[in-house]
């Protein structure tokens, strides 16, 4: 078996990396959700061979590579017996959200989501002339919980037509249980609301927990839902802009396919090759990666809660993301972002970009070599300790 070195540090500056080119060289980027790991060796080798051919004309996938690879991954990793013909190409999950909003709602309709949520969930309705309705997750004793009464009140609105579900959830790291998924589905059936389930982080699940694709739960839920997947997070292939949307419902699938065709969203030969190889040859990579990420998260959660004043964090059930509660620092959100950039020299995502529930929070991406993670945590610790020493008094009231 191939052994992947996740401790290897790769210099990504000067490679058109959004993550690394967005800030000055003295700032350590731990924000946008791609990893700092090289993708699997079989993917690199396949791409090199294709590149050596030297001709990159328009791509036509007569063999259904994406469709077959998606079905293989869903069947072997999650026990969901997907047929290749259920899969429709999408350049990515962000695009899938926007296409679904366009295909299944009309201007002025409502799109429901569980917040805080990553920014494309808000922009997809806004850019299409729809209204986003937020159902905030609640902080409970056992982690983040769904407010089902509040959720139903939004789904019951006459103009609510689509639920954008994110599972595993970004940014909180919550993994919805079978019971939570079924109850959510029952509400959507009751109020005739369709579901687009973003499951891009489905491979990052820890311990005894299991990811359950929403559409796999029952024929009734399959009839009202589509599932968006993408190897981008798992294998660090976001730049190749290739994903899939799965639905066993022919009417939903064909409406979605028509919207993709009308938008002229074409495939890339390099993207579909990487997609196929990742999902059919690189299970070993995931089997090694998930324990490594779990080690990173354990390290970060312990370090933050034990050593960094003013910040606390819970252990995520899934994803490689940490939702940092920074309210103990007593800073406005604007000042909080500046604090991490200027004093800590670490770039994180502002919690407010995930909705108003993110006030006082920041999101940290832990998908990096452990030495890099420790450096980032040490920078944050030094900055927070210096801030605490200067302040010496109770923090002021939190303001936006």
- Asked if omega into 222 is within 30° of 0 (cis), the reply is no
**pLDDT 10s digits, 29-39:** 999 999 999 99
pLDDT(396) > 50: no
The structural domains of the chain, with segments of one domain joined by +, span: 18-40+284-385, 55-281
pLDDT greater than 70 at residue 61: yes
d(CA 178, CA 229): 19
| Domain 18-40+284-385 is found in CATH 3.90.1150.10 | yes
Per-residue confidence band for 63, with pLDDT thresholds at 50, 70 and 90: confident
Name the CATH topology of 55-281. Answer: 3.40.640
Q: For residue range 101-122, what is the model confidence (pLDDT) as tens digits? A: 999 999 999 999 999 999 999 9
| 323-379: pLDDT as tens digits | 999 999 999 999 999 999 999 999 999 999 999 999 999 999 999 999 999 999 999
Give me the percent of the chain exceeding a pLDDT of 90.
94
Band of residue 1 on the pLDDT scale cut at 50, 70, 90: confident
pLDDT(397) > 60: no
Given a cut of 50, is residue 225 above it in pLDDT? yes
pLDDT for res 399: 46
pLDDT at 394: 47
3-class SS letters over the chain: CCCCCCCCCCCCCCCCCHHHHCCCCCCEECCCCCCCCCCCHHHHHHHHHHHHHCCCCCCCCCCCHHHHHHHHHHHHHHCCCCCHHHEEEECCHHHHHHHHHHHHCCCCCEEEEEECCCCHHHHHHHHCCCEEEEEECEEECCEEECCHHHHHHHHCCCCEEEEEEECCCCCCCCCCCHHHHHHHHHHHHHCCCEEEEECCCCCCECCCCCCCCHHHCCHHHHCCEEEEECCHHHHCCHHHCCEEEECCCHHHHHHHHHHHHHCCCCCCHHHHHHHHHHHHHCHHHHHHHHHHHHHHHHHHHHHHHHHCCCCECCCCCECCEEEEECHHHCCCHHHHHHHHHHHHCEECEEHHHHCHHHCCEEEEECCCCHHHHHHHHHHHHHHHHHHHHHHCCCCCCCCC
Radius of gyration of the chain (CA): 21
């Amino acid at each position: 078996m191939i052994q992947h070195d996740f401790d290897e540090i790769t210099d990504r500056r000067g490679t058109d990396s959004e993550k690394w080119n967005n800030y000055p060289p003295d700032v350590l980027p731990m924000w946008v959700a791609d990893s700092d790991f090289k993708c699997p060796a079989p993917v690199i080798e396949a791409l090199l061979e294709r590149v050596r051919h030297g001709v990159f004309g328009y791509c036509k996938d007569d063999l259904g590579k994406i469709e077959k690879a998606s079905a293989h991954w869903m069947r072997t990793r999650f026990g969901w017996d997907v047929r290749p013909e259920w899969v429709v190409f999408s350049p990515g999950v962000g695009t899938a959200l926007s296409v679904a909003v366009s295909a299944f709602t009309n201007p002025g309709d409502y799109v429901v989501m569980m917040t805080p949520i990553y920014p494309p969930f808000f922009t997809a309705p806004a850019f299409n002339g729809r209204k986003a309705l937020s159902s905030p997750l609640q902080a409970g004793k056992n982690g983040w919980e769904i407010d089902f009464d509040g959720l139903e009140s939004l789904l019951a609105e006459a103009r609510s037509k689509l639920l954008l579900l994110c599972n595993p959830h970004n940014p909180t790291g919550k993994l919805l249980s079978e019971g939570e998924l079924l109850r959510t589905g029952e509400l959507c059936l009751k109020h005739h609301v369709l579901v687009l389930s973003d499951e891009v982080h489905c491979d990052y699940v820890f311990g005894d927990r299991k990811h359950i694709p929403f559409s796999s739960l029952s024929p009734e839920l399959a009839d009202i839902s589509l599932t968006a997947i993408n190897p981008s997070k798992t294998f660090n292939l976001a730049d190749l802009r290739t994903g899939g949307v799965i639905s066993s419902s022919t009417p939903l699938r064909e409406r979605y396919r028509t919207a993709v065709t009308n938008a002229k969203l074409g495939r890339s030969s390099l993207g579909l090759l990487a997609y196929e190889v990742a999902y059919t040859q690189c299970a070993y990579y995931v089997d090694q990666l998930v324990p490594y990420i779990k080690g990173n998260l354990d390290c970060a959660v312990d370090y933050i809660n034990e050593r960094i004043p003013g910040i606390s964090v819970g252990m995520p059930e899934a994803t490689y993301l940490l939702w940092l509660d920074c309210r103990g620092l007593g800073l406005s959100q604007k000042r909080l972002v500046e604090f991490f950039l200027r004093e800590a020299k670490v770039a994180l995502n502002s919690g407010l970009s995930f909705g108003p529930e993110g006030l006082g929070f920041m999101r940290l991406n832990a998908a990096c070599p452990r030495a890099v993670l420790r450096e980032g945590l040490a920078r944050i610790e030094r900055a927070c300790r210096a801030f605490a020493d200067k302040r010496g008094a109770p923090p002021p009231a939190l303001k936006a």
